[in-house]
Structure 1
Amino acid sequence: MRYRKPLFALIMSASTSLLVSAVILGLRGVPAQVFLSQWCHAFMTAWPVVFLAIVLIAPRIDRLLDYVVDKDRVFDAR
């Protein structure tokens, strides 16, 4: 359980970076001959950024959602 949050951030950031970098390169019309190398470069640039964003932002979003969900529960009880 101790490693759950860092492991989640690692897997989520990797999958998000892979998907988004591929979509952006595809939309930009990167030729097939260089797509794989450009995708690898884009992924390696994006992954640490997304990882840090998840590690730094996710706890705040989690707290915000705790507040919003608790607030909604109070309104539902009335």
Structure 2
Amino acid sequence: MSLSLSDSGDGHHAGNSVDFELVFTVGAHDVSAVRALFADNGSEFFEIGLATKGPGVVFRGPDGAEKPLPGASWRHAS
């Protein structure tokens, strides 16, 4: 998935690529508008989770069962 964005003037821009995907949060009231924006630009938009208040991260499968996420979490070096 990618959206072509205009060049910012510094040579940096997003273009068609298969080597990355964007993961971000969208407020529930904006999902329809974001889905339409992606569709208008020939891209797909997938809802993959839900952010809620509280500690931790949980994987909930299609059957509703909660499981720990495999692997180690990634933290950005600050």
TM-score (norm: length of structure 1)? 0.25
1 or 2, which has the higher helix percentage? Answer: 1
TM-score (norm: length of structure 2)? 0.25
Higher relative contact order (CA 8 A, sep 6+): 1
